[in-house]
Amino acid sequence: MAVPNPILPGCFPDPSVCRVGAWHYLVTSTFELLPGMPVMRSRDLATWETIGHVLDRPGMVDLTGIRSSGGIFAPTIRHDGERFWIVTTLVDPDDAERGGTFVVTADDAAGPWSDPVWIDVAGIDPSLLFDDDGRVWMHGTRLVAEPEWHHQTEVWVRELEPESGRLVGDEHVVWTGAVRGAVWAEGPHLLRIDGTCYLLAAEGGTAFEHAVCIARAEHPTGPFVGSPANPVLTHRHLGHGADVQAVGHADLVQAPDGRWWAVLLGTRPYDGRRHPLGRETFLCPVEWQDGWPVFAPGVGRVPATVDLGVEPVPGVWQPDSRSAGVVAPGDPRWTAVRGFASAFATPLDDGWTLRTTGDALTDAGTPAFLGVRQQHRELDVEVVVERVDDGAASGLVIRQSEDDHVALLVERHGDGSLVRAVHRSAGAESELGTVAVPAGPTRLGVAARGDDYRLLVDGTALATVDARSLDTAASGGFLGVWIGIAAVGAAGAEARFGALDYRPADARAAASGSAGVAA
């Protein structure tokens, strides 16, 4: 069966995958969003089910004050034959001394996951190799102390003592990239395949010049020899007219039928450069030839559709990319910012009651915001603000970061209400429009069409915003767009919302879950 790419549309960057028996397990970066690191499973590599989150309770990590696109970077998931392991990095871009690398484990990928065990090592993008001889090798990326060029990085390898969580033995620097002058040799994964140790890595940065490279050695500490075909996958040579760009940060997995696959990130630009949906997870076939992996053999680019060779597993529901309609409170797509929704949100039938926290949408705090990833370029999102207390404003928010977002908020004014549309861009706010409405429930909506978000009040357009102004190329950072509900104002004020309805504009994607992405 052919399935559309991406397999996980919307902001699911830096995918890592492993297989245990018939099941594949996958995790991605989540930055400042909580719960963090959704764990997904699939039998067919197309139909993914979120079975839990790694960071699902207070006290595991502290994201307080970390600005958008900081937080949880590039997790790796592995299985040692008995337990699942995830290793990742907490990054604070404003404080290099804060955060660091940690490991969590679980007997069941659905959780519960252990509290973090922190590893004393610098850098990002850690990974683990459970080698055939029982030894465990941790590896990751960091900036070179005395670089030959700007943003030169190196991949280090060192043995991990799994029970104590300590790195032991000598450290080995094994890679600085396949191309001299290439920035950010990152996202490394050591893989033992048919007796050979392979180092899969990205380079070129995570934007347009992104690429996948590979090297091999007899031992995890090297010396590594790069493939003569490096980079083994990139779209940078296709130019800005390519429908998929910035492919990289790959991980490899072998399916039960023996076929090999890569999961990797990529973007789908609106205009050749801007990609509000963020970095998404794609699937690419891999064949082995002459001891090296060939990505998308005979084609050389990530395919628009992938022939799995198997039928999708019946009865597995995919809540992250193939559902349309009401996003109920128990749906795993809901996320909050730097904290957990339980602190300010109470489910109410299919909707929510939100209590203002005192933090604004512009703060690097925990505002009363609950959102879901935008996963389709063209869609309709709608919610009814049923009630809002004096001194508060509540409504729909299109969020890229605290410095870049659009808010359509209802405020009480005398015997009626006022709806304001505000666009915050690079930290500066502009009012897009206001409209007075009667007291009582107010229906708010976002209609994404082409490059535009149309902001609707009771079915009438109040303002239009260029979606491209909210992507990372315009605002910086690593996130795609989230759309959700928010209540702001003095702490303790309440707002009541009906159900949030999320519907791809493409009727085929909304009808039965047969299509994962909009055109």
In a domain, 136, yes or no: yes
Q: Which is the catalytic residue, given 32, 44, 186, 382?
A: 186
- Edge to edge, the sheet with strand 124-130 lists 124-130, 136-143, 153-161, 166-175
- Is the same domain home to 294 and 371? no
Cα–Cα distances in angstroms (integers) from residue 274 to residues 47, 243, 332, in the given order: 28, 11, 27
**Within this chain, do residues 267 and 207 fall inside the same structural domain, yes or no?**
yes
- Whether residues 56 and 184 fall in one domain: yes
Beta carbons of 341 and 370 less than 8 angstroms apart: yes
CATH code for the domain in which residue 291 is found: 2.115.10.20
Strands 33-34 and 36-42, how do they pair?
unpaired
User: What pLDDT is recorded for position 319?
Assistant: 44
Q: Pick the more confident residue, 476 or 453.
A: 453
Q: What is the mean pLDDT of residues 477-494?
A: 95
Residues 170 and 28 in one domain: yes
Q: What is the DSSP letter of 8?
A: B
State the pLDDT at residue 324.
82
Mean per-residue pLDDT over the chain, rounded: 93
Nearest-angstrom CA–CA distance, 500 and 381:
7
Q: Are residues 284 and 339 in the same domain?
A: no
pLDDT at 274 over 80: yes
Q: Examine the domain organization and report whether 183 and 81 are in the same domain.
A: yes
User: 116-147, pLDDT tens digit by residue?
Assistant: 999 999 999 999 999 999 999 999 999 999 99
Within-domain flag for 208: yes
- Please give the Cα distance from 372 to 42 (Å, whole number): 21
Q: How many angstroms separate the CA atoms of 455 and 253, rounded?
A: 43
Is pTM beyond 0.75? Reply is yes
List, for residues 385-420, the tens digit of each pLDDT value: 999 999 899 999 999 999 999 999 999 888 899 999
pLDDT beyond 90 at 506 = no
Residue 245 domain-assigned? yes
Q: Are 180 and 286 found together in one domain? A: yes
CATH code: domain of residue 362: 2.60.120.200
Distance CA 423, CA 427 (A): 10
Token couple for 498: 């009906």
Number of domains, the chain: 2
Q: Does the pLDDT of residue 245 top 90, yes or no?
A: yes
Give the Cα separation of 318 and 316 in Å (integer).
7
Q: Name the amino acid, one letter, at 45.
A: L
Residue 450 DSSP symbol = T
pLDDT at residue 516, rounded to an integer: 34
Domain boundary among the residues 274, 307, 340 is at 307
Q: Are residues 347 and 464 in the same domain?
A: yes
pLDDT tens per residue, range 70-118: 999 999 999 999 999 999 999 999 998 888 999 999 999 999 999 999 9
Say how many C-beta atoms besides its own lie within 10 A of residue 461's C-beta: 12
Looking at residue 414, what is its pLDDT? 80
Selection from 233, 281, 236 nearest residue 13 by Cα: 281
pLDDT tens, residue by residue, 328-377 = 999 999 999 999 999 999 999 999 999 999 999 999 999 999 999 999 99
Same domain, 263 and 384: no
Q: Is 316 inside a domain boundary?
A: no
- The answer on 363 and 297 residing in a single domain is no
**Of 361, 360, 235, nearest to 303 (Cα)?**
235
Please tell me what DSSP assigns to residue 507. Answer: H
pLDDT per position as a tens digit, 297-307? 999 999 999 98
pLDDT at 452 over 50: yes
Confidence of residue 314 (pLDDT cuts 50, 70, 90): low
Residue 218 is among the residues annotated as catalytic for this protein: no
Does residue 505 form part of some domain?
yes
DSSP-assigned letters across all residues of 282-327: EEEEEEEETTEEEESTTT-S--SEEE-SSPPPTT---TTTS--EE-
Q: Do residues 277 and 338 both lie within one domain?
A: no
- 514 pLDDT band, cuts 50/70/90, is very low
In this predicted structure, what is the pLDDT of residue 369?
A: 98
Residue type, 448: A
- Of the residues 246, 278, 307, the one at which a domain ends: 307
SS3 at position 169: strand
User: Alpha-carbon Rg of the chain, whole angstroms?
Assistant: 23
515 pLDDT higher than 50: no
Q: What secondary structure, in 3-state letters, does 209-240 show?
A: CCEEEEEEECCCCCCCEECCCCCCEECHHHCC
Of 270 and 505, the one with more pLDDT:
270
Give the model's pLDDT for residue 317: 43
Domain shared by 343 and 299, yes or no: no
Q: Which residues partner with 27 through β-bridges?
A: 16
92 is catalytic: no
Which of these three, 239, 274, 307, is where a domain ends? 307
| 388 inside domain | yes
Rounded to whole angstroms, the Cα distance separating 78 from 22 reads: 15
pLDDT tens, residue by residue, 19-49: 999 999 999 999 999 999 999 999 999 889 9
Q: What share of the chain in percent tops pLDDT 70?
A: 95
Range of the domain at 450: 325-511
333 in Cβ contact with 320 (< 8 Å): yes
The answer on pLDDT for 202 being more than 60 is yes
Is 36 in contact with 349 (CB distance < 8 Å)?
Answer: no
- 401-433 residues labelled b (16+ CB within 10 A) or e (exposed): bbbbbbbbbbbbeeeebebbbbbbbeeeeeebe
| Dihedral class, residue 11 (left if φ above 0, else alpha if ψ from -120 to 50, else beta) | beta
Q: Is residue 272 part of a domain?
A: yes
pLDDT at 512 over 50: no
Q: Would 141 be classed as within a structural domain?
A: yes
- Residue 420 DSSP class: E
Mean pLDDT over 195-220 rounds to 97
